Structure 1
Amino acid sequence: MGDGILDGRAVIVTGAGRGLGRAYALDLAAHGACVMVNDIDAAEAGAVAGEIGGKALPSTHDVSDPAAVEAMVEACVREFGGLHGLVNNAGLYHESLPWEENPAAIQRAVSVNVIGALLCQAAASRVMTGGGAIVNASSGGMFGFPAVSTYAATKGALAALTFSSALDLEARDIRVNAISPMALTRMTGNALGRELAPSTSNAPPLAGIEDKPPERIAPLVTFLLSDLAAGITGQFLRFDGAKVSVVTTNAFADHPFATAGTWDPAAFANAFTGPLAEHLQPYGVERRLPPRARYGA
């Protein structure tokens, strides 16, 4: 703490009024950054900015509103002299089975979780003329948890955004990484993952989360926004406050394949009962195999 590795830097943290966003904002400021504390809850944004003091500015801009995002970035540049880091942390979480989904809830989640990140990245990357860094808050939910299909889809989108944007922004010296944090917040306090144990494990995936406060995650974000992370971009990192891991993305490796002289439905059936049968992949937190792989053709 207090090492000044972010002295002279200005960072926007969205969804910073509580939980992980608050922890990120406080830690970034402790390491020297000026922080725009963004949250649509004015009282919470103001409280966190007050904790930080003179190096913070509260923001109630709605990240799903293009004009509001532009205004937020302009305010950061005007008040702090530039923008060097962005943490796309704002997000909405809800649980619902697919056939019980509320269309309005789906649209709002996509607007905040996905469109908000896209808008913030677009506006921020235009003014990060001297380089910078972006951290996207993805989630382990994207790997497949029951009853969170909408949330999982939005967090999967942030991972894809990270990989593509890292390619586009490298020439501008802007690094882009994604993180999947595991910490106890208001969002995870009653999450299904605290109770549901996968068939392949004796414990729920979020077991022990009550001992993982947001403050333990914050140093990873501070690191990724600092020069200590120079050369690290396009990565997806999982972190629970104790163990950090790189999520592999070997999408273009040599995968199992089958060929046929002429492809028709029968030829595909032969491929998936033949050479591809043993390569069907497990899916979701339960690592559940497709029925054909479990029970045979």
Structure 2
Amino acid sequence: MSTMGTVIVTGAGSGIGRAIALRLAADGFNVMVNDYRSEAAAAVAAEIGPWAASCAGDVSDEGDVAAIVAAAEAAFGPVTHLVNNAGHVHQALFRDLTAEDFDRMIAVHLRGSFLCSRAVIGGMLARGAGVIVNIASQLGQIGGVELVHYSAAKAGIIGMTKALAREVSAQGVRVNAVAPGPINTPLVRSLSEDWQRAKAAELPLGRFGEPEEVAAAVSFLCSPEAALFVGQTLGPNSGDVML
């Protein structure tokens, strides 16, 4: 067993989630790798080695979330840390969005973060310690063309982070968010080349970030060195948002 605790990383089968899982394993955590694709989750767990296990599941499904937490506890003991990373992207003009498009976006990002947090918060409060890190987006702060539903979901995550932090920080549970800018992942590469070109040109840094650069921010928030960070949103975003 590892020494830093047990962390669940949702949506960790690729991209940012995979980088987070690898980084936290290197930091000394036991890692439960979740993804809706069982093969992807298992591959990342195998890449990490004995300090990791995997559990497939849809974070928007209450039963799946209960199973993910139960699997983590069975493998490694109490869940001390949670990284709500699972998400998906879909690009469309607002007038072309369907109710199903909107509902699915909210379900995966916002409902998923809610369900996973609710599933572990009881144990964290009982122990008087715990860390939750929610992966938001800079588009939740400034909005994005053809990404209204995505921006709304990520803004909701930022609001939920602040509100939950106000409720539980005095009881030993730290809740924060990371709002990446465009990152070189399969998810961002699924957006149009025109969007990617235009977005890169807007960034003061002149480039998209790498998944490992986001994982470094998550690593910090999961560490005792982040003890004073409460309800904060860190922004590894290439200068797209400056606060």
TM-score of the two chains, using structure 2 as the length reference: 0.90
CA offset digits 1:142-175 (Å, max 9, x no partner): 2121110000000000000011000111132110
Query: Residue 213 of structure 2 aligns with which residue?
Result: 216
1:191 Cα deviation (Å)? 3.4
Query: Residue 237 of structure 1 aligns with which residue?
Result: 234
Query: Based on CA coordinates, which of the two structures has the bigger radius of gyration?
Result: 1
Cα distance change, pair 153–23 in 1 and its aligned pair in 2 (3 A): same
1:133 is matched with which residue: 112, 131, 134?
131
What is the one-letter code of the residue matched to 1:173? G
Cα distance change, pair 13–34 in 1 and its aligned pair in 2 (3 A): same
1:59 match: secondary structure: strand
Distance 2:187 2:29 in 1: 26
Distance 1:35 1:243 in 2: 31
Distance 1:245 1:150 in 2: 19
Query: Residue 253 of structure 1 aligns with which residue?
Result: none
Distance 2:66 2:110 in 1: 16
Distance 1:191 1:141 in 2: 14
1:161 match: secondary structure: helix
Query: Residue 162 of structure 1 aligns with which residue?
Result: 161
Aligned length: 235
Query: Residue 95 of structure 2 aligns with which residue?
Result: 99
1:203 is matched with which residue: 201, 204, 218?
201
Distance 2:4 2:164 in 1: 25
Higher RCO structure (Cα 8 Å, ≥6 apart): 2
Confirm or deny that 1:194 pairs with 2:196: yes
1:11 match: secondary structure: strand
In structure 2, runs of 5+ residues without a counterpart are none
Confirm or deny that 1:71 pairs with 2:67: yes
Distance 2:215 2:12 in 1: 12
1:195 Cα deviation (Å)? 2.7
1:23 Cα deviation (Å)? 0.1
Distance 2:3 2:239 in 1: 27
TM-score of the two chains, using structure 1 as the length reference: 0.74
What is the one-letter code of the residue matched to 2:232? Q
Cα distance change, pair 158–99 in 1 and its aligned pair in 2 (3 A): same
1:26 match: secondary structure: helix
Distance 1:126 1:145 in 2: 35
Distance 1:164 1:246 in 2: 22
Query: Residue 26 of structure 2 aligns with which residue?
Result: 30
In structure 1, runs of 5+ residues without a counterpart are 1-5, 248-297
Distance 2:232 2:74 in 1: 31
What is the one-letter code of the residue matched to 1:133? V
CA offset digits 1:93-134 (Å, max 9, x no partner): 111111111222221111111100000010111121331111
CA offset digits 1:57-116 (Å, max 9, x no partner): 101021111121122112212221111111110011111111111222221111111100
1:22 Cα deviation (Å)? 0.1
1:181 Cα deviation (Å)? 1.5
Distance 1:38 1:243 in 2: 30
